């Protein structure tokens, strides 16, 4: 059993960190960007999704579960010389089959800012604090996945439709 002063200190610490002043301690609510794509197979979609993530610079050192159709990248660091300007991003992509060749793609890009004052460009001194998800980066990644599944000259909105008869 904790003595009374220690219990009071723990309670006050929880109360303070529960306020908005410590909101960067907890991960913010996820912000998913979603869209539909057409792919000839699950394996093609899986490979093109991983390739798109690599092209955006997301490390493949995260987790990939082909059975659950979820890919989580490692952290992509972009350090900067000023406090709060350095960022790191982690992409999460969920795939789910809709019907036929249509798949739902959900993308989330987690974001943290480096709040270190001392040596902000040295990753060993980084002090990462949560920021809202990067929806712009998620949209870019979603579009890269879409683009990787269309053939040149084919409009993404007409993927899978039969070409018009040239006669």
Could you tell me if 66 and 44 are in contact, meaning their C-beta atoms sit under 8 angstroms apart?
no
Mean pLDDT of 134-148: 97
3.30.530.50, 1.10.10.10, 3.20.20.70, 3.40.640.10: which CATH number matches 24-150? 3.30.530.50
Q: Report the candidate in 39, 27, 30, 89 with the shortest Cα–Cα distance to residue 69.
A: 39
> What pLDDT is recorded for position 6?
60
Q: Average pLDDT over the chain, rounded to whole? A: 85
> What pLDDT is recorded for position 62?
79
Whether 4 shows a pLDDT value over 70: the answer reads no
Q: How far, in Å, CA of 152 to CA of 157, rounded?
A: 13
Whether 25 shows a pLDDT value over 90: the answer reads no
Please write the tens of the pLDDT for every residue from 79-111: 999 999 999 999 999 999 999 999 999 999 999
Sign of CA dihedral 109, 114, 120, 124: negative
Q: How far, in Å, CA of 147 to CA of 143, rounded?
A: 6
Could you tell me if 150 and 158 are in contact, meaning their C-beta atoms sit under 8 angstroms apart?
no
């Amino acid at each position: 059993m904790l003595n009374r002063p220690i219990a009071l200190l723990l309670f006050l610490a929880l109360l303070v960190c529960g306020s908005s002043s410590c909101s960067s301690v907890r991960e913010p609510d996820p912000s998913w960007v979603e869209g539909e794509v057409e792919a000839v197979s699950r394996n093609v979609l899986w490979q093109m999704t991983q390739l798109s993530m690599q092209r955006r610079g997301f490390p493949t050192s995260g987790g990939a579960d082909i059975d659950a159709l979820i890919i989580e990248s490692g952290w992509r660091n972009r350090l900067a010389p000023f406090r709060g300007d350095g960022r790191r991003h982690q992409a999460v992509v969920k795939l789910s089959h809709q019907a036929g060749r249509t798949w739902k793609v959900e993308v989330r890009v987690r974001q943290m800012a480096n709040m270190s004052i001392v040596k902000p460009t040295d990753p060993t001194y980084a002090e990462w604090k949560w920021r809202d998800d990067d929806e712009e980066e998620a949209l870019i990644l979603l579009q890269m996945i879409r683009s990787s599944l269309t053939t040149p000259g084919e409009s993404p909105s007409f993927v899978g439709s039969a070409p018009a008869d040239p006669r």
